[in-house]
Amino acid sequence: MYPRRSSPRFGIVFLFLIGCLFLFAVRLVLIQIFNSAFLANLAKKQHNRLIILEPKRGTIFDRHGRPLAINLPVYSLYANPKSMSEANKDRAVEILSRQFGFDKSFVQGRLDKEKYFVWLERKMPQELYEQIKAYKLKGIEFIKESKRFYPNKTLAAHVIGFAGVDNNGLEGMELHLDRYLKGKEGMSQILRDAHQRELLIEKNYVAPQDGFNVTLTIDETIQYIAERALEAGFKKHNAKGASIVVLNPRTGEILALANQPTYNLENSSTANPENKTNRAVVYTYEPGSVFKIVAASAALEENTAKETDVIFCENGSYKVGNHYLKDHDPLGNLTFKEVIEQSSNIGTTKIAQRLGPDLFYKYAHKFRFGIKTGVDIPGEVGGWLKPPAQWSKTTIGAIPIGQEVTVTPLQLAAAIAAIANDGVFMKPYIIKEIRDSRDQIIESYGPQAVDRVISSQTDKRVKEILRGVVENGTGKKAQIKGISVGGKTGTGQKVEGGTYSHSKFYASFVGFAPVENPRLAAVVVFDEPHPAYYGGTVAAPVFQEVIDNSLKYLSTLEANGD
């Protein structure tokens, strides 16, 4: 028998198989050693979907538990382009653009991305979600989120501020308290099969932590009363801007704070930046005659004058340094009390001259002018109060009548509240408490006395003088039937190009009521009202309406046991 000779064909096949085996081995080594991390990550992306679980942003309440800012569930639209065929993409682009008004090029651009997740529309209206869902578009999916809503639209806009699409605070209390309101994100992973179908199997679940709830000192009803009256006055007097602050003088709680112009919190992105500015705490101005409360308080406290002292007002013209000081009308002999009632610049300057720069500055500083009040509202500025070392020969005839000094409306409100509060300055505040999702108190805030500005005995005398301003003087339009009111008017000239304007003014009124036991104190300021511009004509009537209606409201609350 002869041995069988191997066929060349067999050798070729054998070598081919050996070569393939070698190539497979090399490929396997490359995959296992050099590409394993990449391929494992790719598989993970294909079969694991990471979902960020958004926490519920905390609610902002008014002092009575009425919601001012809340989160409601909504749906967002996204796509998984990697799971879509070209036909799927074309259908989605056509339907979303034609039926629902989406920008065609935007949708096409998003679907052309080689990604497993792209946003198409965040936080849609419920109706739009339901309509798109009905089309059952392949690769087009929804995720449940939450959206910030402001049920009262413009109410307390400058206090509350607003949050963005990702529930991050951007203005006002929303920004200031974002670390409390926002909460912490959670996460979950959903497994998917090779066809990108969710298997309803979760792993690595971390629950989100909802944000804390915040209660403000704001009273929704008083806020509404203040905003309505301020807006009407703003329009009536063709003003450039306006502010109002209402305080509880006993505690320093801010019950209402409003500005004009304002904006709708539901459409904050379209609002003019100036309309978003909280004028009451960030705008300063020369206050004019409302500042005379400092001279009156200091003179009585230091016994440099008393109510019955007669002061000659020079018939309307008085030289201070090289400057002639004028009154709005020529005035002769007035008592100290009448000087404040009739708002005489000359009479007030003579009262301040008895005090001298150092004593006057001391009391202006005790009223917290020239420094921040410390209110828990972001952006507060402190205004400007020159120390005596910087006074010129004419300053004694300027600062006491509200010139060469700048203040914010909030500073004025806090100062008049100190007079309403027996001479004790209370730190104004607007945050009442912060609670977690289990309603446990995390932080709480209460009244904080800062300083006694004047004695209780002096304070009673100042209150009576300010009562006279409303009953007999420039503040008659602040009178409330059946309720005693104390206050002071102010008309300040605006400075333009280094000189005082004769056509642009600030009109102000500060006051409190009832005089015997003040429950409310407030400031009203108008920027460039015209043609009327006197504080007693423009600002006092707004004060009257707000305080009258607010006191009636508070009486109703008490009658109902609230």
Q: Which amino acid, residue 22?
A: F
Residues across the chain: 562
Q: Which amino acid, residue 2?
A: Y
Closest CA to 423 of 391, 463, 465: 463
Q: At 91, is the secondary structure helix, strand, or coil?
A: helix
CA distance 196 to 338: 85
Beta strands in 267-338 (DSSP E): 310-312, 317-320, 323-326, 333-335
- Cβ burial of 439 (10 Å; 0-12, 13-18, 19+) is exposed
Transcribe 160-212 into DSSP letters: H--B-TTS-B-SHHHHHTHHHHS-B-EEEEEEE-TT--EEEEEEEEE--BPPP
Q: Which amino acid, residue 215?
A: T
Instruction: Report angle CA 72, 125, 51 to the nearest 5 degrees.
Output: 65
Q: Which residues, in sequence order, are CB contacts of 467 under 8 Å at separation 6+?
A: 484, 485, 486, 515
SS in 3 state form for 404-446? CEEECHHHHHHHHHHHHCCCEEECCECEEEEECCCCCEEEECC
Q: What amino acid positions are annotated as catalytic residues?
A: 289
- Identify whether the C-beta of residue 352 lies closer than 8 Å to the C-beta of residue 325: no
